[in-house]
Amino acid sequence: QRYPTDKAYFITKEILATERTYLKDLEVITVWFRSAVIKENAMPEGLMTLLFSNIDPIYEFHRGFLKEIEQRLSLW
């Protein structure tokens, strides 16, 4: 009778692992790539603003989403 609960738990753990990986990928773009571009002055400012104005909100959303999943999983 606990099978659906256990199945949901393992699905949630898989979502958590996927979300952690995705957040790390977004961090590479938003932190490391951006700092390298700024350091090398490799992209016009307008293009950088356009690019990162779209990525930053996605990154911030997923940071909060990951925290939410972690909190809910810890209370399972």
Concatenated DSSP letters of 6-49: HHHHHHHHHHHHHHHHHHHHHHIIIIIIHHHHHHHT-S-HHHHH
Q: Crossing angle, helix 45-74 and helix 3-27, to 10 degrees?
A: 150
- Whole-prediction pTM value? 0.76
Domain boundaries, the chain: 16-75
What tens digit of pLDDT does each residue of 7-54 get? 888 899 999 999 999 999 999 988 899 899 999 999 999 998 888 888
Check residue 24 and give its pLDDT: 96
Check residue 59 and give its pLDDT: 93
Instruction: Examine the pLDDT at 75 and tell me if it is beyond 90.
Output: no
